[in-house]
Amino acid sequence: MRKHLFHLALVLPLLTQAQTEVRTSSYTFSTGVCPTMSVVFDQADARQVESWYKDRLKPISADISSKKELMAVGVRLPEVSSDTIRIYVKADQPKKSTDLTLHVAFRVNNAFVGPDSDERQREGCRSWMYQNAVMLKKELAQKEVEAATKTLHLLESDQAMLVKEKDRAQNNIEKTQKNITSDEQEKAATEGESTTMVTRVDAKKQEVANSPTETNTKELQGMLKEQEKLKRKTEKLSKDIENGKKKIEDLQFQIKKNLEDQNAKGQAIEVQKKVVDELTTKLSGIN
């Protein structure tokens, strides 16, 4: 129940922002203060919004200027007037604010549409404002959903990569441990051969000392070489075992760090899923 209420508390502000309200207001354009109809956009950019309205007005206007404010001349809006009209557009966005108020002034036959204007004109302007504002809000909200979804997919991809890296490290540990076991067995066998070789070398040395011949002297030299070979092999196996154990320690540390990263990434994914859900709810609630 608490979880449901908490989610509702998060979603309600988004639903409120999704509601489109066309207000009667005024704004100071380059020509002076004019009555306008305004709509508030959240998480929007003034240039982006004005550019969008410019694109919407181009096909239905004789000419468009954007020197001081966006101004469309010879606009065909049958729902407002049978004659062509002039439209002024300005997005007012305070510094460091993510919200902006779009002001649109409609001039019909040299008179601006205001509270006291003909009802058909007022309702036609209001309808045009509402329909276009909803359309733009949906486009902006859709882009937010897409961006948030992309971020979610990147997080999930990172998580999948972490899982693969952890599995790879675990497999590497198992492989390294097998190599260590094999090296330890080979080392034990080599040390056994070395022990036997010591006895043989000592006996051969005694033989040479008592009755030296060319044959037993060569045999002793060969045995000494073999003994040195066994010694080097034992040393190499010992080093390989030591390096293998160090490698396992490093891999175990990597796995520990990997699991911590997976946990953090998992939390980030859950947070991002909520963001996507909230933005999707906002998009579906725009009207």
Round the average pLDDT of the chain to a whole number and report it.
Answer: 93
**Cβ partners under 8 Å of residue 36, min gap 6:** 24, 25, 26, 27, 88, 103, 104, 105
Based on C-alpha coordinates, what's the Rg of the chain? 41
Indicate if the pLDDT at residue 120 is higher than 80. yes
- Report, as an integer, the average pLDDT of 212-225: 94
pTM of the model: 0.76
pLDDT of 1 strictly over 60: no
- Domains of the chain, CATH where assigned: 19-117 (no CATH), 149-285 (1.10.287)
Q: Given pLDDT bands bounded at 50, 70 and 90, which one contains residue 17?
A: low
Question: What was the pLDDT predicted at 197?
Answer: 94
Q: How far apart are CA 55 and CA 255, in angstroms?
A: 54
